[in-house]
């Protein structure tokens, strides 16, 4: 490269230098679990703190339904187990497709624009497939 490495690129290079592309691809399972866990935190906080608040109840889809921390933790465990059992194998099977599409793990890291475009396409595809799988599962 004609330029020096950024901090993120130095960290990535040091971390990924001795790992195969397949192993790096399998890290996605951990990252997805982490981000899906973070995404639900605001809802958990609103449910736990705002249960007695009249304002928050007004905006809930089911205002008379409330859940304890332990109920939500049990649900979280079940969702994560299912996620690992379903998404984990799908991540492993999808590796050849990812390579075929040209998604790479080497340096240089993608630009902000490239990252934005790839994530946008990913979310569109994921949302589309989740909608149709969900709809199929609810049809007789």
Entry pTM: 0.61
Per-residue model confidence as pLDDT tens digits over 6-43: 888 888 888 888 888 888 888 888 888 888 889 889 88
The contacts of residue 40 (CB under 8 Å, 6+ apart) are 76
**Is residue 32 located within the same domain as residue 51?**
yes
Confidence band for 70, pLDDT divided at 50, 70 and 90 = very high
Residue 77: per-residue pLDDT: 94
Candidates 101, 92, 93; CA nearest to 122 is 101
**Is residue 71 located within the same domain as residue 119?**
no
Point out the least confidently predicted range of 14-23, 40-49, 50-59, 63-72: 50-59
Structural tokens at position 81: 């187990």
Does 29 reside within a domain?
yes
Residue predicted with more confidence, 63 or 40: 40
Domain count, the chain: 2
Residue 36: per-residue pLDDT: 83
Does 13 reside within a domain?
yes
Q: Which domain holds residue 116?
A: 110-140
**Is residue 78 located within the same domain as residue 19?**
yes
Distance CA 39, CA 45 (A): 11
DSSP 93: H
Structural tokens at position 43: 């809802």
- Cα-atom radius of gyration of the chain, to the nearest Å? 20
**Is residue 115 located within the same domain as residue 85?**
no
Residue 52: per-residue pLDDT: 60
Distance CA 47, CA 72 (A): 10
């Amino acid at each position: 490269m004609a330029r020096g490495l950024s901090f993120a690129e130095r960290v990535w290079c040091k971390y990924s230098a001795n790992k195969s592309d397949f192993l790096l691809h399998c890290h996605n399972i951990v990252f997805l679990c982490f981000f899906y866990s973070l995404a639900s935190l605001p809802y958990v906080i609103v449910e736990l703190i705002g249960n007695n608040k009249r304002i928050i109840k007004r905006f809930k889809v089911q205002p008379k339904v409330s859940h304890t921390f332990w109920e939500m933790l049990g649900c979280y465990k079940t969702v994560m187990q299912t996620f690992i059992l379903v998404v984990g194998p799908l991540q492993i099977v999808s590796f050849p497709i990812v390579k075929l599409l040209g998604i790479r793990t080497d340096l240089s890291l993608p630009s902000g624009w490239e990252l934005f475009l790839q994530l946008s396409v990913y979310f569109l595809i994921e949302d589309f497939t989740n909608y149709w799988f969900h709809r199929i599962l609810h049809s007789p």
